[in-house]
Homo-oligomer: A and B are copies of this chain.
Amino acid sequence: MADPKWLDDEEMRAWQAFLATSALLDRRLDQQLRDEVGLSHLQYEILVQLAAAEGNAMRMTELAASLLNSKSGLTYQISQLEKSGLVHRAPCTIDVRGVYAALTDEGRKLLERAAPGHVALVRELLIDVLTREQLTAIADGLGEASRRMLPKDGIAEPVR
């Protein structure tokens, strides 16, 4: 890995656009969610995951993995959400160590209240800005990139 190829103009343009969009978009979404329902973007995503799960509940580790976040960070956020009454913890019957984070009715209501505005902003700031071709290119390209980075990445590379 002596002297890796530098980025050409087009690559640089894409990279910087990606970085900028990522930073700006996240900030805006976070801001709006805080203003409208008092949730951080992460907290919102937690509620979304729970709402989509079987029985509106998930194991902590599973949830952390699906959010691409650290377990200790999730413990903290779930505690916050529990204080707010949006989520509650339940012991796992099949594994005494396990803990379920479950969406409460209040949590579901808040999520339903938050979602329309959130989706509208995602649309306004990103989705509706893109052409259909760009949208597909992003879904495909970034889909592939994220897939390759997923946990289990470097594990058991087939010998060919």
Residues of A that sit less than 8 Å from B by CB: 1, 3-7, 10-11, 13-15, 17-18, 20-28, 68, 116-117, 119-120, 122-123, 125-127, 129-146, 148-150
Known contacts being A22-B26, A133-B137, A150-B24, is A7 close to B142, with CB within 8 Å? no
Let me know if B142 and A21 touch, CB within 8 A.
yes
Chain copies in the assembled complex:
2
Contact B119 A144 (CB under 8 A): no
Query: In the complex where A7-B119, A149-B25, A149-B28 touch, is A134 in contact with B141 (Cβ < 8 A)?
Result: yes
Q: Which of B22, B25, B120, B141 contacts A130 (CB 8 A)?
A: B141
Query: In the bound complex, how far is the Cα of B134 from the Cα of A137, in angstroms?
Result: 5
CB distance from A136 to the nearest CB of B (A): 6
